[in-house]
Amino acid sequence: EKAVNLKKDLAEMQEWMTQAEEEYLEKDFEYKSPEELENAVEEMKRAKEDVLQKEVRVKILKDNIKMLATKVPSGGQDLMTELNVVLENYQLLCNRIRGKCHTLEEVWSCWIELLQYLDLETAWLNTLEERVQMTENLPDKLDAVNDALESLESVLRHPADNRTQIRELGQTLIDGGILDDIISEKLEAFNARYEELSHLAVSRQISLEHQLQTMRETDHMLQVLQENLAELDRQLTSYLTDRVDAFQMPQEAQ
């Protein structure tokens, strides 16, 4: 009777494992939204806990069959053979569910990381857009143009590492068929805005550099002219002080 009960327990255990495999491992999942992906991660976590909780039952079943095989070798041999199959299948099921759970957690982590990098780069694009707007309608002063140029250049020195991460993370998820529509849409919008703003910013930078160069040249010319006028004023003052007749002066002084 004990052997019959143990055999029944083995059959039930095998049936449960078959159902678990069908439910958690053979079902096709399509992760088209973050909610679907998150739900799948939580489901696999529960599946892993559920499978691992059966470890106690498997151990008790194993101990009982071994004890029966020791007491009644003839009656326990068949059960030992069945037990070994169940143990092998159970271990395989545990490994596969652990693996799938780990994979889904990695995918979810990849998605969250992508969102974080997109947030960082979007904040940078917002700053870049503000700095570009600040270069409009500048007062015609050298200091104002120089400050605007330096401010714009400081933002443009932003490293490209985050954009590289966005591209790689997005491509990894898309290649796996994970949230591909949503990610493609997000990346397309981000890349379009990045291209537009970066080109506008570089164009404005070049324009400010030319404007600054022209203003510096003009400022230099005015400085030279002012120095020449000051020298002429000094000469004229000395002529007047010495009461020199105008017709005795050099032509340029006249």
Q: 40, 104 in Cβ contact below 8 A?
A: yes
Residue 73 is predicted with a pLDDT of 64
Write down the pLDDT at residue 220.
92
33: CB partners within 8 A, 6+ apart? 179, 182
Out of 1.20.58.60, 3.40.50.300, 3.40.50.720, 3.30.110.70, the CATH code matching 1-211 is: 1.20.58.60
Q: Where are the domains of the chain?
A: 1-211
Contact 212, 139 (CB under 8 A): no
Residues 96-107: pLDDT tens digits? 999 999 999 999
Residue 247 C-alpha from the chain's centroid: 82
62 versus 126: the higher-pLDDT residue is: 126
pLDDT at residue 78, as a whole number: 77
Give per-residue pLDDT as tens, 4-57.
888 888 999 999 999 999 888 876 667 889 999 999 999 999 999 999 899 888
Which is it for the CA torsion 144, 149, 152, 157, positive or negative? Answer: negative
Length, in residues, of the chain: 254
Say yes or no to pLDDT of 91 above 90.
yes
Q: What is the pLDDT of residues 110-145, one digit of tens each?
A: 999 999 999 999 999 999 999 999 999 898 899 999
pLDDT at 206 over 80: yes
75 pLDDT band, cuts 50/70/90, is low
Question: How high is the pLDDT of residue 247?
Answer: 60
**CA-to-CA distance for 184 and 190, rounded, in angstroms?**
10
Place of tokens 């591909």: 180
Least Cα distance to 152 among 91, 206, 214 occurs for: 206
Q: What is the pLDDT of residue 242?
A: 73
Mean pLDDT of the chain: 89
- Which pairs with CB-CB distance under 8 Å and at least 24 residues apart come from 40-49? 40/104, 41/101, 41/104, 41/105, 41/107, 41/108, 44/97, 44/100, 44/101, 44/104, 44/105, 45/101, 45/105, 47/20, 47/23, 47/97, 47/101, 48/97, 48/98, 48/101
